[in-house]
């Protein structure tokens, strides 16, 4: 049966999540399936109502602010619901996808499993448990060239972002790059300042 399943594609930035989503959507369209493509409004990298991969592939999409809106957008004739950037949706996204599965829809989604701090991102842990299949993609480390990059490195003025910077910062290749665990960096300016003050006090 086509529905009652949830395929989740995850991994770091630049690993090809959206590209893989688009590939699956295009196959479904070739098979004459009715597909609804959805993207969060918070992702402002593209100004139009579409999703786009780094290699230039794109497809029209409906942008939504709250996950609960998805249920009213998906029609009875829609057989497949594709959702990009799941980590940006509010916590109701778990219930929404579960409901779509109950309705017999096939859901295909993408999302970052970890944020730039290396912590689980949004509702991704629950979504990985809900998914019937999970494909975790790796990227190429932009520092050492390893093909097992699983972390997302945030950059500010070309340098690793401090762990105290805002959790969500929309950006492209100039702001984020894939790193392996060995090359991933997370400086902590507040902790470094504390250590510096302690050292200064000890030297007095």
**How distant is the alpha carbon of residue 16 from its chain centre?**
11
Alpha-carbon distances of 144 from 141, 160, 172, rounded to whole Å: 6, 15, 20
Sign, Cα dihedral of 152, 119, 9, 56: negative
Q: Is the separation of the CB atoms in 4 and 104 below 8 Å?
A: yes
Q: Is the separation of the CB atoms in 195 and 164 below 8 Å?
A: no
Q: Is the separation of the CB atoms in 15 and 137 below 8 Å?
A: yes
13-39 core/surface letters (b: 16 or more CB in 10 A; e: else):
bbbbbbbbbbebbeebeeeeeebbbbb
Query: Which tokens is 107 given?
Result: 């859901």
Catalytic residue numbers, as ranges: 85
**How distant is the alpha carbon of residue 194 from its chain centre?**
33
Sign, Cα dihedral of 103, 104, 108, 113: positive
């Amino acid at each position: 049966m086509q529905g009652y399943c949830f395929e989740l594609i995850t991994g770091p930035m630049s690993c090809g999540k959206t590209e893989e989503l688009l590939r699956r959507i295009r196959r479904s369209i070739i098979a004459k399936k009715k597909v609804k493509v959805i993207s969060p409004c918070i992702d402002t990298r593209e100004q139009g109502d579409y999703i786009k991969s780094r290699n230039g592939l794109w497809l029209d999409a409906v942008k939504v602010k709250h996950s609960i809106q998805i249920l009213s957008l998906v029609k009875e004739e829609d057989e497949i619901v594709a959702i990009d950037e799941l980590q940006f949706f509010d916590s109701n996204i778990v219930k929404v996808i579960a409901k779509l599965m109950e309705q017999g829809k096939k859901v295909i989604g993408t999302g970052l499993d970890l944020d730039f701090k290396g912590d689980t991102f949004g509702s991704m842990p629950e979504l990985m448990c809900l998914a019937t299949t999970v494909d975790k993609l790796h990227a190429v480390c932009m520092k050492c060239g390893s093909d097992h990059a699983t972390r997302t490195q945030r950059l500010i003025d070309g340098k690793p972002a401090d762990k105290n910077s805002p959790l969500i910062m929309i950006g492209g290749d100039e702001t984020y790059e894939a790193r392996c665990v060995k090359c991933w960096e997370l400086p902590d300016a507040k902790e470094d300042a504390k250590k510096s003050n302690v050292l200064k006090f000890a030297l007095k």
